[in-house]
Amino acid sequence: MLGLLSIAKLNVKTLQHFICCNVYIVVFVITIIISQSTSAGEKTLPYPSPVRPKIEFSSDQRSDRALGSYLAGTYALTKNDQLLASKYLSNALEVNPNNTQLLKNSINAFVAIGDIESAVPLASRLILSKPNNNFARLVLIVDFLANQKIDDAKYQISKLSLEGIYGLLGPLLSAWAEYGNENVNVAISAMESLKTKKIYQPYFSFHSAMINDLSENVIDAEKLYLKTAQTSVGQTNRWILIYGDFLTRNNRQDEAIKLYKSWLESDPNSSWLEQVLTKTHHSKDNTQEIRGYRDGIAEVFYGIASLLPQSAGHANALIYTRLALHLRKDFAAAYILLGEIYESLGQFKEAISEYEKVSQESIFLWTAKLRKSQKLAELKNLDEAMDILRPMVEEQPKRTDAPEVLGDILRFAEHHTEAIKAYDIAIDRVSVFRSDHWRLLYSRGVSLEQTKNWERAEKDFLKALNLSPSQPLVLNYLGYSWLEMEINLNRAKTMIEEAVKLRPNDGYIVDSLGWAYYRLGDFNNAIHFLERALELIPNDPIINDHLGDAFWETGRFIEARYQWNRAITLGASGDYVKAIKEKLGRDFKVYDHNLGNGS
């Protein structure tokens, strides 16, 4: 029989086979596996913990396979594999087609992968037994609206329980459905309840503005757009783009250009703002951003999804974004958001797939290509990533982001000479240095230091600090470099102390502070911080070596030897191993116990 540790290493398909053969013990085992994987800090989807449905246990093989499929599907959800989860949960539903928890989990999984068509019949089935299930109704509503079945959608909207987020969603859905039936006044009235809650008032203004805009009520639309501008919604990219589009379509290009320029000043790296500004200048873009009720409802879901924190709310963000895309297939901003959500889950292939769906004509294409190249590099597809980036460097000769990303990819691959060339291009394009350019200078400085060009590297680090004095990465890298060269020791310690204040749980920076104390001869303080660094990163060979050096200087010879040996075991290599072995050859019996002569 497989031990628990062996089972935990199985892939999902092997796990399902094991389950089917050992169905009566696996309920306990699978619980242990899931709890272990969660406690180990792995990323898991923040769905409500999938509840085990009350499946009738029987000895027949079909029921055994159903239970195995359910547990494998649940396990796949904890591993963020929604596609595999949907397949296994579907298998379980073949035996238990009306089990409410299976239906809920399956609907979530299908919506999460964008398979709304498969989710719809399950939602209809769930409502028969759970008529108060809002999410099942929401799936039906979206599908009805996507297929222009407005009256069917309105019926389902009327059955929503307006609690929680549905207190916002219900009125907005109702308003856009009424607009779809050309009932403009009724549409605006449907949102009146939003005005009673301050947190919902911006949504009333913004969506009322869009409905009035579509209805050619220009004066009312203008007032409502400007009212929205005074709220948090009016600070979003969507408001900027939609209001700018309103100005352009009403022959107010100069005002639109002024709007885009003002926002570009506060976000100078925005590629989509640059592109929409260029199109407006040349009157090349006459496409209306919001074209009808489906676009309006897609905006509802996108707006909610974009506000959810990806660290804690990415499951709901994923679902709302998928609903938006079911209504609007060409929603480029939603594909970008979906890619970002997958990035936060560590699912880079899925992120790339979403970035590839952005149209070649979209103002978000540049962003999509940059992000795709970064994810390709993280998947070790360096050549493919650089094939995207090199033409981009030439395509936009004034932008710094493409050569900077190219430099980053080359630096992480330790191709430092080539990275420097890419960073040189980016830095040469900077006409006026801003505080956010510190990272560009820092990155080039790292590659320069790695290629032994310290004079240029030091200038970059110092300039980066001049632009943005409280950057822990720069403070630490420059400070540690000085420590290694045994120059500017007190200044280095002061800088690293500041870095530790900013990042107290960064083991590498804490190690640098310990090493600063070591270089200054304060070995007790050195041990204190090096031990703390080792608590944060136990398996780093350099930190273990540093602690060994500090132990030796205080006469703790056996502990020093242990740390040095551990450094070798943990993967210290090359000249570093040679230096450690030389230290291990010391005879502590004849070592000067006055200390300080043997380091």
Predicted confidence (pLDDT) per residue in 486-544, tens digit: 999 999 999 999 999 999 999 999 999 999 999 999 999 999 999 999 999 999 999 99
CA distance linking residue 223 with residue 229, whole number of Å = 10
| Dihedral angle, C-alpha 445, 451, 452, 453, nearest 10 ° | -50
CA distance linking residue 449 with residue 259, whole number of Å = 43
Under DSSP, is residue 537 helix (H, G, I), strand (E, B) or coil? coil
Under DSSP, is residue 483 helix (H, G, I), strand (E, B) or coil? helix
User: How many C-beta atoms lie closer than 10 Å to residue 258's C-beta?
Assistant: 13
Nearest residue to 226 via CA among 202, 250, 261, 199: 202
CA distance linking residue 21 with residue 26, whole number of Å = 9
- How far is CA 350 from each of CA 83, 90, 208, 375, rounded to the nearest angstrom? 11, 22, 35, 10
pLDDT of res. 566: 97
State both tokens at 364: 């978000």
Strands (E), 311-433: none
CA distance linking residue 487 with residue 9, whole number of Å = 49
Q: Which CATH class is domain 496-599?
A: mainly alpha
pLDDT of res. 309: 65
Which bin fits 521, alpha (ψ -120 to 50), beta or left (φ > 0)?
A: left
Long-range contacts of 276-281 (CB under 8 A, 24+ apart): 276/241, 276/244, 276/363, 279/363, 280/244, 280/248, 280/253, 280/256, 281/257
State both tokens at 49: 């913990």
Q: Which residue has the tokens 């085990």?
A: 52
Query: CATH 1.25.40.10 residue ranges in the chain?
Result: 496-599
Alpha helix positions (H), 282-364: 293-307, 314-327, 332-344, 348-355
For the chain, what is the total number of helices (H) and then of strands (E)? 33, 0
CATH number for the segment(s) 1-130? 1.25.40
Q: Which residue has the tokens 């597809």?
A: 381
Phi, psi of 540, deg, nearest 5: -90, 125
Label each residue of 180-203 as H, E or C: HCCCHHHHHHHCHHHHHCHHHHHH
Q: Which residue has the tokens 């000067």?
A: 592
R_g over Cα of the chain: 30
Nearest residue to 94 via CA among 123, 66, 128: 66
With beta carbons less than 8 A apart as the criterion, state whether 211 and 187 touch: yes
pLDDT of res. 5: 31
pLDDT of res. 70: 73
Which bin fits 471, alpha (ψ -120 to 50), beta or left (φ > 0)?
A: beta
pLDDT of res. 557: 95
CA distance linking residue 153 with residue 143, whole number of Å = 8
Q: Give the residue ranges of the chain where pLDDT is below 70.
A: 1-64, 66, 80, 284-286, 309-313, 588-599
User: How many C-beta atoms lie closer than 10 Å to residue 507's C-beta?
Assistant: 17
Phi, psi of 535, deg, nearest 5: -65, -35
With beta carbons less than 8 A apart as the criterion, state whether 477 and 507 touch: no
Residue 48 DSSP one-character state: S
User: Within 13 Å, how many C-alpha atoms sit on residue 433's CB side?
Assistant: 16
Label each residue of 424-442 as H, E or C: HHHHHCCCCCCHHHHHHHH
